[in-house]
Structure 1
Amino acid sequence: MSADNQQNTARGAALVTEAFRLADEVLFPAAGEVDRTSTIPDSHWKTLADAGFYGIALPAELGGPGLEFPQLIDILEAMMSGCLTTAFTWLQHHGVVIALAVSTNAELRERFLSGAASGELRAGVAYAGAVPTPPRMRVTRVDGGWRLDGHAPFVSGWGITELLQISARDIETDDVIAAIVETDTLPDSAVRVEPVDLSAGNGSRTVALEVEALVVPDAAVVSRTPLDVFFATQNVGTRINGTQPFGVVRRVIRLLGDAGRPEPAQALRDRAAEIRTRLDQGLGDEDALMQARADGARLAVEAASTLVVATGGPALVRGNPAERLVREAAFTLVAASRPPLKERLVGSFSGVDGIS
């Protein structure tokens, strides 16, 4: 291993350690209040920025830490175990950082990448409109740019983020066009939002986004991707989103251990390790990946239920960590889901064989 690689590995290990410290000492102690008030304190964003956690997706050659993929997964799981609301909102940011880092639009990259990587600029995404067929969000070529029309049902970070990456499908070619816009410049005449009242993660300030005749210039386009290539990259996103249920499981294991219940904690730890291994191995096999992702989401529900039973009556009181983790486990069944995952979970919970 070269000296540079050794340095990057050590830097990544230090970031993983810091992520778990922040999860335990900063995020989790405040998670109940975040849930109660549906508000993430600004201090959380500053803490994450000061610790360098907005640029973790950047490769070393672009000034990032050059994390190994397992290190990135560990950091995301740690954050999810601290405060799912904060971590879920922050997670969206990294897709924009990656898009800027690999974009051929040098001017856009120069304009936004440094601020996004430092956390000076916070970013969100509206991917979901481009995923289904037929798509919910379409773009039409106009003179000097693109006209966007459509609907994105869940866009998180509204009012928290300064940048929004909107993905849509070209009405002519079905290519996926992604543009980055500054949210405070979006005209009311073209963009309408409706707050979505979530049972968990409500502090993410998720909205339903309606777009009609929003024109973005070519200078705002961060990528144009053929549809088959776009879908080929979705497995990595599924693996990354799999950190959500494992964050819940990690916190349940910790709380069971603190409560003097080492046996169920160890049993859940062993089950999580087996599913996590299958998730990693499934990156090249979509069927295996989806099954492991479904098993991870189900494990989160079962782990949270274990904590409820172990806690007893106090777990029925609104605001108890066990009560909140049950809602967050349910959140991981649906958030960032895809149809194959949904069908596996329906079959798993209902006992209907053959659904996949």
Structure 2
Amino acid sequence: MSNQDPAARRSTLRTEALRVADDVLFPTAAGVDRTGVVPPSHWRALADAGLYGIAAPVEAGGPGLEFGEVTEILEVLVSGCLSTAFTWLQHHGVVISLSRTPNRSLRDELLEPTVTGRLRAGVAYAGVVPTPPRMTATRTDDGWVFTGHAPFVSGWGTVDLLQISARDTETDDVIAAILPTAELPTAVRASPVELTAAAATSTVSLQVDGLPVPDARVVSRVSIDEFFANQNVGVRLNGTLPFGLVRRCTALLDVAGRAPAARRLRERADEARMALDSAMDDATALLAARADAARLALEAVAALVAARGGEALLHGSDAERLFREASFILVAASRPELKDLLVRRFAGEPDSR
């Protein structure tokens, strides 16, 4: 695929995403939900389709996709299988970090295999979001010592690399390091988190007690203000989750003979997507648009449940699974501000802005 001209390569990636979502992921989504395991063939299909490197710039071996092209592919794959796509979604943050890092040796070691999907990556950055932080970094002579708690880390036992972030105890800077999961010492203890939806994400809670992190594994160091300024991109990427659910619900509504309802939900999704994209430079507006998208996903699933009737009450049916997944989307990658917005929307209260 890399030998194609850029326009053809972008078109091929979109086509491949649609094929993988509809022909590989969705037909087995109920089984993944039932067993709580993403089959290795899913990861191979994503890698074979070139979909692990979609966020990488051309100079890093990526396809040079526009941001909207990346988010469309994310939506498409979420529509296939939420567990698979959510785990895979974390990978792209690591690809972006490696493509931008001043740590040339780390970039040379890891960027190419992460772009191709030979190495799969996950992230643990939520420990730096609250104040005081849950994860801290203390400087040593040749690196850092990380200590703290990361409450939700997906892909455990599946990912080869983990990007873990912590706040410097002296400067409050955010230190991010990429570590091979197979080499993590006993200082890192994982406790499974039993989720009611997307359990196959293999999500754990990490307790970190004095984890040595050499400077050679540090991928970035930024001020806390810069860290939060860069979070809009992550909010937008996670904002693809509701639209993926809407895509699948509208497709199933079409099958159920509810084309007008499906058409209106697609129109509303287009409006919500436009609001998200136009708010990329405004964190407050972006979270408001993200809340609207999450609410739309829940309403799309409610429409599907109503259309399917009693069948939707059967454990393992598409509508039942998607309804549980809508609750996951309300909570996953959330923030206190987003929670407040959603509570106000569901309660019929005005936004506190």
For each residue in 1:100-151, what CA deviation from the matched residue of structure 2 results, as whole angstroms up to 9, or x when unmatched? 1111111111111111111111110001001111110000001211000000
2:116 counterpart residue number: 118
Work out whether residues 17 and 76 of structure 2, in 8 Å CA contact, stay in contact via their aligned partners in 1.
yes
Structure 1 residue 63 displacement after superposition: 1.2
Question: Is this contact kept in 1: 2:135–2:147, CA < 8 A?
Answer: yes
TM-score (norm 2): 0.97
How many angstroms does 1:14 deviate by? 2.0
- Structure 1: unaligned runs, 5 residues or longer: 1-5
5 Å matches for 1:201-212?
201-212=198-209
The residue that corresponds to 2:232 in the other structure is 235
Residue 104 (structure 2) pairs with residue 106 (structure 1):
yes
- The match for 1:131 is 129
Query: 1-side partners of 2:318 and 2:346: how far apart?
Result: 24
* Contact in 2 for aligned 1:346/1:355 (Cα 8 Å): no
Larger mean CA deviation between 172-181 and 111-120 belongs to 111-120
State which of 277, 281, 284 in structure 2 corresponds to 1:280. 277
Output the CA distance in 2 between the equivalents of 1:63 and 1:115. 10
2:151 maps to a residue whose letter is P
Q: How far apart are 1:343 and its partner, in Å?
A: 0.8
Alignment TM-score, normalising by the size of structure 1: 0.97
Other-structure match for 2:141: 143
**Distance in 2 separating the partners of 1:339 and 1:43:** 37
1:255 is aligned, of 230, 252, 256, to: 252
Paired residue secondary structure (2:92):
helix
Report 1:17-28 matches (<5 A). Answer: 17-28=15-26
CA distance in 1 between partners of 2:100 and 2:249 (Å): 37
Taking only the aligned residue pairs, the percentage that are identical comes to 61
Q: C-alpha deviations, 1:254-279, integer Å up to 9, x for none?
A: 00001111111011111111111101
Corresponding residue SS for 2:51:
coil
Cα deviation 1:9-40 (Å, max 9, x = unaligned): 33212211221121111100010000000000
More divergent stretch after superposition (333-342 vs 204-213): 333-342
Aligned residues: 351
Letter in 1 for 2:336: P
- 1:97 paired with 2:95, answer yes
Deviations 1:302-349 (A, max 9, x none): 110110010010100010000000011111111011122111001001
| Counterpart check, 1:335 vs 2:332 | yes
Partner amino acid for 1:83? C
Q: Which amino acid aligns with 1:255?
A: L
Secondary structure of the residue aligned to 1:352 is: coil
- Distance in 1 between the 2:111 and 2:318 partners? 37
For 2:251 and 2:5, how far apart are their aligned partners in 1? 31
**Where does 1:49-60 land on structure 2 (aligned, <5 Å)?**
49-60=47-58
Q: Which structure 2 segments of 5+ residues have no match?
A: none
Within a 5 Å distance, the mapping from 1:1-356 to structure 2 comes to 7-188=5-186, 190-355=187-352
SS at match of 2:64: coil
Query: How many Å separate the matches in 2 of 1:243 and 1:286?
Result: 16
Q: Distance in 2 between matches of 1:235 and 1:28?
A: 29
The answer (yes or no) to whether the contact 2:143–2:214 under 8 Å persists in 1 is yes
Q: Distance in 2 between matches of 1:9 and 1:326?
A: 37
| Structure 1 residue matching 2:53: 3-state secondary structure | coil
Q: What secondary structure does 2:52 align onto?
A: coil
Read off the aligned partner of 1:117 and give its amino acid letter: V
CA contact (8 A) 1:347 1:354 kept: yes
Instruction: State whether residues 249 and 301 of structure 2, in contact with CA within 8 Å, keep that contact through their aligned partners in structure 1.
Output: yes
Distance 1:335 1:133 in 2: 19
Aligned partner of 1:148: which letter? F
Task: Assess if the C-alpha contact under 8 Å between 2:189 and 2:206 holds in 1.
Answer: yes
SS in 2 for 1:208: strand
* Higher mean displacement: 231-240 or 283-292: 283-292
Runs of 4+ in 1 over 3 A off after TM superposition: none
Q: By how many angstroms is 1:8 displaced? A: 2.2
Code of the aligned partner of 1:195 = P
Native 8 Å contact 2:60 2:111 kept in 1: no
Q: Distance in 1 between matches of 2:282 and 2:213?
A: 37
Kindly provide the amino acid, as one letter, of the partner of residue 261 in structure 1. R
Inter-partner Cα distance in structure 1 for 2:283 and 2:297: 21
Q: Separation in 2 of the partners of 1:302 and 1:355? A: 23
The CA RMSD measured in Å over matched residues stands at 1.3
